[in-house]
Amino acid sequence: MTLSLICKKITVAVAMLGVVLLPMAVRADDVSAKLYQMKCVACHAADGSGTSPAGKALKVKDLRDPDVQKQSDTDLTAIITKGKDKMPAYEKILKPDEIKGLVAQVRELAAKK
């Protein structure tokens, strides 16, 4: 087998892998967005501002705020997992990959502000 043929096969394999994984990434974003809608919107509002009636009553933070966004993914994961102050813990309700998706969703909310 020539080097040229090996390179072509590797290129085709990488392209096929990209085609397979691309829909997975889109679905993961959709799943995280839906999960945010189900679990977070009641307090944090659809845009993350915290301006929902419950969010105002509980005085939740704006998830788009620089103070929230400067926290590490590990810190945000811990808050969602274990809870903090009035934030409930989700470790018994959500899987680790779902929590990771919510952290990504929080990051995306700031990008949309």
For 1-10, what is the mean pLDDT? Answer: 58
55-105: pLDDT as tens digits = 999 999 999 999 999 999 999 999 999 999 999 999 999 999 999 999 999
Q: What is the pTM of this model?
A: 0.73
Amino acid at 7: C
Check whether 5 has a pLDDT greater than 70. no
Q: Compute the average pLDDT of residues 21-33.
A: 59
How far out from the chain centre does Cα 33 lie? 8
Q: How far apart are CA 25 and CA 12, in angstroms?
A: 20
Burial of 76 per CB tally in 10 Å (0-12, 13-18, 19+): buried
- Does pLDDT of 12 surpass 70? no
